[in-house]
Amino acid sequence: MLKVDAISKAYGKAAVKAVDSVSFEVKKGEIYGFLGPNGAGKTTMIKMIVGLLRPDSGTITVNGINIWNEPVKGKKMLSYVPDNPQIYTKLKGIEYLNFIGDVYGVQIHERKERIEKYATLFEINHVLGDIIESYSHGMQQKIVLIGALLHEPKLLILDEPMVGLDPKASFTLKELMRSYCENGNSVFFSTHILDVAQRICDRVAIIDKGSLVTQGTIAQLQEKMGEDDSLEEMFLEITKQ
């Protein structure tokens, strides 16, 4: 579904590499966790995947489409929810969702069904007619997530998606991520909540200082470490936190 091949990105005159020849693949139907300490290169990598930042070298394909050679076609295959979403707060919730639906060409009847479905799951039906700036942070996160799901992308990219969500909404999102992948799609997400990653990810990758240190299932990582440690314990050992 997502293939990242030898991607590198450097910043500044000193050409300090934020991402250094990173390669990995997210399979169809898989929840793939992308982990790392602050400054490890996670956000830079994500921005390159979604087409917001051009890599210095390497290729990125989503469902076989090169994200830089065919940017519009590639971006239609994915949705991205950043850790601090920028949202049009002067719009009503329903206006924002209809705007997103128009951007992605979602048919009116499908749009209504999906908005109703996801707004019910996240329990925000009653505020869709309100201005977004009146929403709490958690409610704004929910409306952004609904917008990301509206065109049913093949690949859902989430950067710290649980931030600001109450426990019930977090549980709903985790259930959605799993059911979404069971329908043949894929989820790529970054989080600092390692017990969540351990519970729901099919595989995880750990990036540190711009390099991919390790990847695999939790069992594979435990085998590599030679211990039956939790993901948190392995993460701390690998990154020397």
Please report how the helices 137-149 and 167-182 are oriented relative to each other, as an axis angle in degrees rounded to 10.
10
Q: Which of 152, 175, 205 is the last residue of a domain?
A: 152
147/91 same-domain check = yes
What local confidence, expressed as pLDDT, does residue 155 receive?
A: 94
201/174 same-domain check = yes
- DSSP letter string, 100-129: HHHHTT--HHHHHHHHHHHHHHTT-GGGTT
The Cα 241–Cα 227 span in angstroms is 18
Q: Which of 117, 152, 187 is the last residue of a domain?
A: 152
Query: pLDDT for 111-123, tens place per residue?
Result: 999 999 999 999 9
70/160 same-domain check = yes
**Model confidence band, residue 236 (pLDDT cutoffs 50, 70, 90):** confident
For residues 206-211, average pLDDT: 90
Q: In the chain, pLDDT over 90 holds for what percent of residues?
A: 59
Query: pLDDT for 55-83, tens place per residue?
Result: 999 999 999 899 888 988 888 899 999 88
Interacting residues of 240 by C-beta distance below 8 A, sequence separation 6+ = none
Q: Any idea what the CATH number is for the domain that residue 41 is in?
A: 3.40.50.300
145/159 same-domain check = no
For residues 219-238, average pLDDT: 82
180/143 same-domain check = no
Domain that holds residue 163: 1-77+155-241
159/240 same-domain check = yes
At 156, list the tokens.
């859902």
Run of H or E including 235: helix 231-239
232 CB-contact burial (10 Å; exposed 0-12 / middle 13-18 / buried 19+): middle
The chain-wide mean pLDDT, for the chain, equals: 90
127/216 same-domain check = no
What local confidence, expressed as pLDDT, does residue 14 receive?
A: 65
The pLDDT of residue 215 is above 60: yes
26/99 same-domain check = no
What local confidence, expressed as pLDDT, does residue 29 receive?
A: 93
The pLDDT of residue 97 is above 80: yes
Backbone angles phi, psi at 220, to 5 degrees: -65, -40
105/57 same-domain check = no
At 223, list the tokens.
């085998």
Task: Tell me which of 228 and 183 has the higher pLDDT.
Answer: 183
Number of domains in the chain: 2
Q: Which of 119, 137, 152 is the last residue of a domain?
A: 152
169/191 same-domain check = yes
What local confidence, expressed as pLDDT, does residue 187 receive?
A: 95
9/104 same-domain check = no
What local confidence, expressed as pLDDT, does residue 224 receive?
A: 81
Size (the chain), residues: 241
The Cα 114–Cα 165 span in angstroms is 20
**Model confidence band, residue 241 (pLDDT cutoffs 50, 70, 90):** low
57/71 same-domain check = yes
